[in-house]
């Protein structure tokens, strides 16, 4: 082996050793009088990080009783009268959730609405449970959007436009086609609205309402004028969000409900999230039952203890694989084993810097990448002296096309578990080519040249 070949191999091996050291040790810098590791930590999924559980229990509150006489008329209750069946009265408890609503169909509907909301609110991972009594629990990862998601999950989703004075319901959810978020630039900032598009019937109703609930100017006998307004209130889940009147007749069936005017990006984001949350709640429908919501934080499901066994098994299998390479290919096998360890380190560094969220499926992606890299290295070791690298690459890549397809499709999946797998595999396969072309192939190729030269010398001697 010539000196420059030795230098090349040693340099590449040292770089690989450095990659391994950076991944498992880190890069330390002095920052604010502290020595800290500047290599980012892994972004982990719910199972490794902790989660929050929203418990939704069917509200069994009874708001007094309604008494009916024998003719079925409501009786105004008075003190001193015993309202019992023996006395000819029918006493019905005013339950928040009447018995006839406590059906399996309603429990299932509530659960489905929650699933739809979770998907639309961007919950990356979730576990939902429903028991036979209709109680539901939802578990989502603990991150910046947890509180936001849970706050909109627990809302009933009831919208009403009512007469402000008489509380007469003028419009409700049945009139809504869909809700979206829109913005308008104004001199004071960007105004964020939740835009409700009403259906055909709702559009007609809105037109009528917008003709009635307006500001009117009245002139008194003495010539003075006064403005009176007839207002409507927008209620969400029974709470009045705003009261207003119409300045013009609404013929297009679109109602813009102002959420806020933002003068900076933080406020803008806040208003958009609020408008979006409300729109999602309206679009996913009314939860048919009233629930009492409570939440609890729980720590990670997968602890180090649980991970140890599969981790040691994987390391063991990998070690056996490396030993096989060493036995079969001797020194080249040893070098390839070191290089394969470098590949794992390089992949993990990339995953840290690209902030790919690693779930259990993501870990499967790492395993798949390691297996494929092993096969690639094995193929290089077996064939690098026989065939050109171009042919070897083509030969190895063609059967991998379906795996690339899986990685790309999974990357765009909405479920975090699958997207994690897709992203890890995508990086794994990409790095496999880049890494092996930079490190493994040049080392094996330089050894190949050396072997060819030795063979030539032998032939010449003969």
Partner 1 sequence: MLKNKKQGLINDDIVEDYKASPILKNKKIIVLIILIIAILIAGTIMIIVKGLNYDLMYSKNTKIQAYIKSDFEIKDIKKIVNETFIGKRSYIQNINIVENMLIITVEQASDDEINTLIQKINEKYNIELTNDDLVINKDTNINMIDIINQYIAPIVITIAIILAYLLIRFKKIGLFKILLYTIASVVLSQCLYISIIAISRIPVNFMTIPVALLIFIINIYILALIFERKLAGEKVKK
Contact residues for partner 1 (CB under 8 A)?
47, 50, 55, 115, 127-132, 137, 142, 296-302, 310, 360-361, 363-364, 367-368, 371-372, 383, 386-388, 391-392, 395, 398-403, 405-406, 409-410, 413-415, 417-418, 421, 425
Cα of 9 vs its chain's centroid, Å: 45
Q: Which is nearer to partner 1, 224 or 304 (CB)?
A: 304
Q: How far is Cα 157 from Cα 321, in angstroms, rounded to an integer?
A: 57
- The distance of closest approach from Cβ of residue 392 to partner 1 in the complex, given in angstroms and rounded to an integer, is 8
- In 3D, which of 460, 452, 458 has the Cα closest to residue 2? 452
Minimum CB distance to partner 1 smaller for 342 or for 422: 422
Least gap, CB of 430 to partner 1 (angstroms) = 16
Is residue 62 classed exposed, middle or buried when 0-12, 13-18 and 19+ CB atoms within 10 A define those classes? Answer: exposed
Map residue 175 onto helix, strand or coil: helix
CB of 273 vs partner 1, minimal distance in Å: 22
Between residues 129 and 457, which has the closer beta carbon with respect to partner 1? 129
The answer to whether the CB of 330 falls within 8 A of the CB of 387 is: no
Residue 65 CB partners (closer than 8 Å, separation 6+) = 77, 83, 91, 92, 93, 94
Choice between 45 and 342, CB closer to partner 1? 45
How far apart CA 219 and CA 178 sit, in angstroms, is 41
- The answer to whether the beta carbons of residues 192 and 271 sit under 8 Å apart is yes
- Cα three-residue angle 92-93-95, rounded to 5 degrees: 135
CB of 102 to partner 1, least distance (A): 16
Closer to partner 1 by Cβ: residue 13 or 128: 128
Q: Which of 195, 53, 62 is nearest to 135 (CA)?
A: 53
Residue 161 Cβ vs partner 1, minimum distance, rounded to whole Å:
35
Residue closer to partner 1 (CB basis): 36 or 408: 408
Nearer to partner 1, 267 or 300 (CB): 300
Please say which residue, 127 or 242, places its beta carbon nearer to partner 1: 127
Rounded least distance, CB 142 to partner 1, Å: 7
CA-to-CA dists, residue 325 to 1, 15, 340, 447, 449, angstroms: 22, 21, 11, 16, 21
Nearest distance, CB of residue 26 and partner 1, angstroms: 25
For residue 237, the SS3 value is coil
Q: How far apart are the first and last CA of the chain?
A: 21
3-class DSSP assignment, residue 368: helix
Minimum distance of partner 1 from residue 240's CB (angstroms): 33
Q: How does DSSP classify residue 436?
A: I
């Amino acid at each position: 082996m010539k000196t420059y070949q030795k230098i090349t191999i040693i340099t590449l091996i040292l770089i690989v050793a450095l990659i391994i050291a950076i991944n498992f040790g880190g890069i330390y810098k002095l920052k604010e009088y502290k020595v800290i590791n500047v290599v980012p930590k892994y972004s982990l999924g719910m199972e490794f990080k902790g989660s929050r559980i929203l418990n939704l229990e069917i509200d069994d509150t009874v708001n007094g009783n309604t008494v009916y006489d024998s003719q079925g008329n409501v009786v105004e209750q008075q003190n001193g009268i015993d309202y019992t069946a023996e006395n000819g009265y029918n006493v019905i408890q005013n339950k928040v959730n009447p018995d006839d609503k406590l059906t399996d169909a309603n429990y299932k509907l509530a659960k489905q609405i929650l699933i739809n909301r979770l998907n639309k609110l961007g919950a990356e991972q979730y576990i939902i449970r429903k028991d036979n009594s209709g109680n539901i629990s939802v578990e989502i990862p603990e991150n910046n959007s947890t509180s936001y998601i849970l706050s909109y999950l627990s809302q009933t989703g009831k919208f009403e436009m009512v007469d402000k004075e008489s509380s007469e319901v003028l419009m409700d959810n049945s009139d809504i086609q869909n809700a979206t978020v829109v913005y308008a630039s104004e001199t004071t900032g960007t105004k964020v609205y939740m835009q409700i598009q009403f259906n055909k019937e709702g559009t007609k109703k809105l037109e009528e309402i917008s003709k009635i609930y307006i500001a009117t100017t009245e002139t008194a006998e003495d010539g003075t004028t006064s403005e009176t307004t007839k207002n409507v209130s927008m209620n969400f889940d029974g709470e009045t969000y705003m009261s207003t009147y119409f300045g013009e007749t609404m013929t297009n069936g679109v109602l813009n409900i102002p959420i806020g005017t933002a003068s900076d990006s933080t406020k803008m984001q806040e208003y958009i999230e609020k408008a979006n949350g409300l729109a999602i709640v309206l679009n996913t429908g009314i939860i048919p039952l009233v629930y009492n919501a409570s939440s609890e934080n729980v720590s990670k499901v997968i602890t180090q203890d649980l991970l140890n066994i599969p981790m040691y098994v994987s390391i063991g299998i990998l070690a056996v694989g490396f030993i096989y390479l060493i036995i079969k290919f001797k020194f080249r096998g040893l070098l390839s084993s070191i290089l394969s360890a470098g590949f794992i380190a390089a992949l993990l560094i990339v995953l840290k810097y690209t902030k790919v969220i690693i779930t259990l499926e993501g870990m499967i992606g790492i395993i798949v990448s390691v297996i494929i890299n092993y096969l690639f290295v094995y193929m290089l070791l077996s064939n690098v002296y026989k065939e050109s690298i171009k042919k070897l690459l083509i030969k190895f890549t063609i059967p991998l096309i379906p795996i690339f397809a899986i990685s790309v499709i999974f990357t765009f999946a909405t479920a975090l578990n699958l997207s994690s797998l897709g992203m890890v595999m995508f990086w794994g396969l990409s790095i496999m080519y880049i890494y092996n072309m930079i490190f493994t192939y040049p080392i094996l190729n330089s050894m190949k040249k050396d072997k060819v030269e030795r063979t030539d010398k032998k032939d010449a001697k003969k």
